[in-house]
Amino acid sequence: MNVRFGVLLTPGIEAPEAVVELARTAEALGYDLVMVPDRPYEPGLLDAWTLLSWVAARTERIRLAPGVLELPLRDPAALARAAAGLDLLSAGRLELALGAGSAWDAIEAMGARRLGADQAVAALGEAIDIVRGVLDAGEPRPLRHLGEHYRIPQVQRGPLPAHRIPVWVGGHEPELLRLAGREAGGWVATLAELPPDGFAAAGKLVDEAAREAGREPAEVRRIVVVGPDADPSALRTLAAEERVDTFVISTDDAAVLRRFAADLRDLPAAVPVVVRPASVRAKRRAGIDYDSVPPSLADTAVEPGDLEYARVRSTYLRGGAPGLVLRPRTVAEVVDALAFVRAHPHLPFGVRSGGHGISGRSTNDGGIVLSVAALNSVEVLDRDRRLVRVGPGARWTDVAAALLPYGWALSSGDYGGVGVGGLATAGGVGWLAREHGLTIDHLRAVEMVLADGSVVRASERENAELFWGVRGAGGNFGVVTSFEFQVDEVGDVGFAQLVVGADDPAELLVRWGAAIEASPRDVSGQLIMGRPRPGRPHVAQLMAVVDAREPETIIERLRPLASVGPLYDQNVVLIPYAGVMANAADGYHQGQGEPVSRSGLIEHLTPEVARAAADLLAGGAVHWFQIRTVGGAVSDVPPDATAYAHRSANFSLVVMGSVERRLDAAWAGMAGHVEGLYLNFETGTGPDKVAAAFPPATLARLRELKRRYDPGTLFRDNFTVDPQEETR
């Protein structure tokens, strides 16, 4: 690692644009950091935070830090929120340097209370706790701080910043140096304010305090502000002997910046900066060799003590506590990640794209998660053939939005937040299923990383058997890193949401099933029903997409659906397919607990099936009941063409409950009425479910593939095909 360089600007009020221009020049010259002094009592200078925010908007790469913030004039909780916001806006470029207060006369004149030196350091210590506490948004309880200097009854935490914002302390007083050693991620010193040999002595104090607090001295970065006339050889010595890893040149002269950049480029740092302090390492889980995370992944990996952990630990439906989340950004990094996973054969291991897996196996407890969320591009490969390439980390709402300008769409599912990776490796029952088939039916090729780390392409022509298996059981054979789809021309569609009475749920199911089976293929839809509750009218929600532009056609198609029961409410709009999919929630996943669901595929909603389904619903073990249409184009594909084989079904049923045992007891009544299941709606992942998802001939082929591509069952957590077991 090399020493970092920064610039400390003097932001005079006379030429604000020149200050901003200098920051941009520093960025162009390859500087790592721009700092602006904070002297809120000094009318000749621009306000530091305002200027930093402005510079953030006008730069792209360079990191930003106040140098240093006069804490007595800032409220620490408000400061933390502002810091999180600036970090989010600047995509993780903020570093926070705090000072205990220096110009006390001026501070007092501004209306703040004067503190003695030691008191001021104590107040700074409290402020650091508050700042860190507010930033720690993953902690569910509000922050309470009843200290000597700050009294905060309870403040909500958050927002979660884009990265772990380092908190540095600036100054030279012994008490402050000790605070830096005990608490801070960095110590900011100003060379000109120290006596000739003062730096070494001050640094020793910091190190001693760090050791006393059980930290490694290298956890405290050393940031040194130097004047424009600093001697490069003296800086080399400081870097080599005093572990200084960041030099900040105080200048407003672009020529000086250029000179330093030329003189000191590629100066190696004496010791690698410790990225994860002891407090973070203390939360590591057993059995993971954290120190051998491949260098390519070290920066983006997240472990339990990291601030970003809150963002990645859970999935949409399931709470998790993985020991390590690897976040590759390239195919080569996926290869690196799998090598690391191979070295940990006894841990849970989940592959994650969009994190919406119903079974929730893309998170775990104490294991490794490989998240390909960053591989999220959507690009058009061939306009004439409507061929597009999509990364597994893209969400279906993003795919729909990207295809909209071309007048294209790819049927996926009903929810825009769902990821491409999990859905397009298993099936994809979407709003255009009856007309255009499953998502996997549009797949023309994939690129994937296999268990042994090799990168292969699979299509009808290359690795054809693997390509067959990927379309239905993809998670068993590797990590798909890109999908090539042939998409359809789809314009605006009619999107209907109807509410109908369901006093007799079985009767309604039969009528709805018959109506939608008789509909032309441009209609696909679903039905959602709650549990009947005494004294309340029982209703069902019907949704449908009609792929037609003319209002008359849409109305004509909807009429039979609207008359399956008394119509209580209706809402029909003509919108682009991308509009139907623009329903994804913001923010990160905060699922909790264990989801429990059962999936079943159904040929026809006969009175017997409907009776069994109505009984299931009435029993009370089910809190979510949803039937989607398949059939149509889905059934045109021969059962042996893809690993997804239950092609004759017209309906896909999913129910969710809270208690697995109760749900299974209720679900037993569906036996004989369902024929197979769809993996992506099922939470049971054991051999019985695998056998239900894949008919015997399909399963035998999958076992053969597993023996060939993943004999050691590296991919073992989600509907694992056992390579050894013989087919019945």
Partner 1 sequence: MSDYGHDLLFGAFLTPTAERPHQAVDLAVVADRAGLDLATFQDHPYQPRFHDTWTLLSYAAARTERIHLSGNVLNLPLRPPAVLARSHASLDLLSGGRIELGLGAGGFWDAIEAMGVRRLSPGESVAALEEGIEVIREIWAADKAGPVRVDGQHYRVHGAKRGPAPAHDIRIWVGAYKPRMLRLAGRAADGILPSLAYLPGGADDLAALNEHVDAGAVAAGRDPRAVRRLLNVSGRFAPTGTSFLDGPAEQWAEDLAGLALEHGVSAFILATDDAATIERYAAEVAPATRELVAAERSARS
Ligand X SMILES: Cc1cc2nc3c(=O)[nH]c(=O)nc-3n(C[C@H](O)[C@H](O)[C@H](O)COP(=O)(O)OP(=O)(O)OC[C@H]3O[C@@H](n4cnc5c(N)ncnc54)[C@H](O)[C@@H]3O)c2cc1C
- DSSP-derived letter for residue 157 is -
Within 8 A by CB and 6+ apart from 720, the residues are 476, 685, 690, 713
Q: What x/- string results for residues 634 through 673 when contact with ligand X is judged by CB under 6 A?
A: ----------------------------------------
CA distance 605 to 540: 16
The correct pick among 680, 683, 698, 720 for binding ligand X (CB under 6 A) is 680
Q: Which does 267 bind (CB under 5 to 8 A by kind): ligand X, partner 1, none?
A: none
Q: What x/- string results for residues 424 through 463 when contact with partner 1 is judged by CB under 8 A?
A: ----------------------------------------
| Residue 669 binds partner 1, judged by CB under 8 A | no
| Residue 440 binds ligand X, judged by CB under 6 A | no
| Residue 524 binds ligand X, judged by CB under 6 A | no
The correct pick among 109, 262, 573, 665 for binding partner 1 (CB under 8 A) is 109
What sign has the CA pseudo-torsion 170, 199, 207, 179?
Answer: negative
The correct pick among 364, 376, 425, 698 for binding ligand X (CB under 6 A) is 425
Supply 512's token pair: 């709805």
The correct pick among 3, 7, 20, 446 for binding partner 1 (CB under 8 A) is 20
Supply 238's token pair: 């400081």
CA 162 to chain centre: 11
The correct pick among 66, 76, 354, 565 for binding ligand X (CB under 6 A) is 354
- Contact predicate 68/49, CB 8 Å: no
Give me Rg for the CA atoms of the chain: 30
CA distance 640 to 642: 6
Nearest to 559 by CA among 524, 519, 507: 519
* Nearer residue to partner 1 within complex by CB, 46 or 302: 46
* Nearer residue to ligand X within complex by CB, 101 or 474: 474
- Contact predicate 463/552, CB 8 Å: no
Q: Which does 86 bind (CB under 5 to 8 A by kind): ligand X, partner 1, none?
A: partner 1
Candidate ranges 76-84, 155-163, 240-248, 416-424; the one touching ligand X (CB under 6 A): 416-424
Within 8 A by CB and 6+ apart from 74, the residues are none
Beta-bridge partners for 480: 448
The correct pick among 140, 153, 195, 535 for binding partner 1 (CB under 8 A) is 153
The correct pick among 72, 161, 427, 676 for binding ligand X (CB under 6 A) is 427
Q: Residues in contact with ligand X, total (CB under 6 A)?
A: 35
Nearest to 393 by CA among 334, 441, 466, 442: 334
* Nearer residue to ligand X within complex by CB, 302 or 423: 423
SS (H, E, C) 595-634: CEEEEEEECCCCHHHHHHHHHHHHCCCEEEEEEEECCCHH
CA distance 186 to 194: 17
Residue 498, H or E segment: strand 492-501
The correct pick among 172, 221, 313, 352 for binding ligand X (CB under 6 A) is 352
Nearest to 441 by CA among 420, 456, 426: 426
Alpha helices in 185-268 (DSSP H): 198-212, 232-242, 254-264
**What counts of helices (H) and strands (E) characterise the chain?**
25, 28
- Contact predicate 81/165, CB 8 Å: no
| Residue 85 binds partner 1, judged by CB under 8 A | yes
Site residues (CB under 6 A) for ligand X, limited to 378-407: 392
* Nearer residue to ligand X within complex by CB, 399 or 479: 479
Q: Which does 353 bind (CB under 5 to 8 A by kind): partner 1, ligand X, none?
A: ligand X
- DSSP-derived letter for residue 669 is G
Task: Write down the least CB distance from residue 339 to ligand X, Å.
Answer: 17
Q: Which does 351 bind (CB under 5 to 8 A by kind): ligand X, partner 1, none?
A: ligand X
Q: What x/- string results for residues 121 through 150 when contact with partner 1 is judged by CB under 8 A?
A: -------------x--x----x-------x
| Residue 595 binds ligand X, judged by CB under 6 A | no
| Residue 195 binds partner 1, judged by CB under 8 A | no
Supply 697's token pair: 């001939």
Nearest to 328 by CA among 377, 370, 389: 370
Give me the residue whose beta carbon is nearest to ligand X.
422
* Other C-beta atoms lying within 10 Å of the C-beta of residue 690: 22
| Residue 250 binds ligand X, judged by CB under 6 A | no
Work out the angle at residue 556's Cα, subtended by the Cα atoms of residues 555 and 557, and round it to the nearest 5 degrees. 90
| Residue 575 binds partner 1, judged by CB under 8 A | no
Supply 715's token pair: 């991919």
The correct pick among 26, 120, 177, 429 for binding ligand X (CB under 6 A) is 429
For tokens 């057993």, name the residue.
286
Supply 477's token pair: 């054979």
| Residue 706 binds ligand X, judged by CB under 6 A | no
Q: Which does 44 bind (CB under 5 to 8 A by kind): partner 1, ligand X, none?
A: partner 1
Q: What x/- string results for residues 46 through 65 when contact with partner 1 is judged by CB under 8 A?
A: xx-xxx-xxxxxx-------
| Residue 316 binds partner 1, judged by CB under 8 A | no
CA 591 to chain centre: 13
The correct pick among 82, 499, 528, 700 for binding partner 1 (CB under 8 A) is 82
Candidate ranges 34-42, 364-372, 475-483, 548-556; the one touching partner 1 (CB under 8 A): 34-42
CA distance 403 to 410: 8
- Contact predicate 155/192, CB 8 Å: no
Task: Write down the least CB distance from residue 556 to partner 1, Å.
Answer: 23
E-assigned strand segments in 295-334: 324-326
The correct pick among 151, 211, 385, 661 for binding partner 1 (CB under 8 A) is 151
Site residues (CB under 6 A) for ligand X, limited to 307-326: 315-317
Note the residues at the interface with ligand X (CB under 6 A). Answer: 315-317, 350-358, 361-362, 372, 392, 413-415, 418-419, 421-423, 425, 427-430, 474-475, 479-480, 680, 718
Note the residues at the interface with partner 1 (CB under 8 A). Answer: 13, 16-17, 20, 40-44, 46-47, 49-51, 53-58, 73-75, 77-78, 81-82, 84-86, 88-89, 105-106, 108-111, 134, 137, 142, 150-159, 162, 586-587
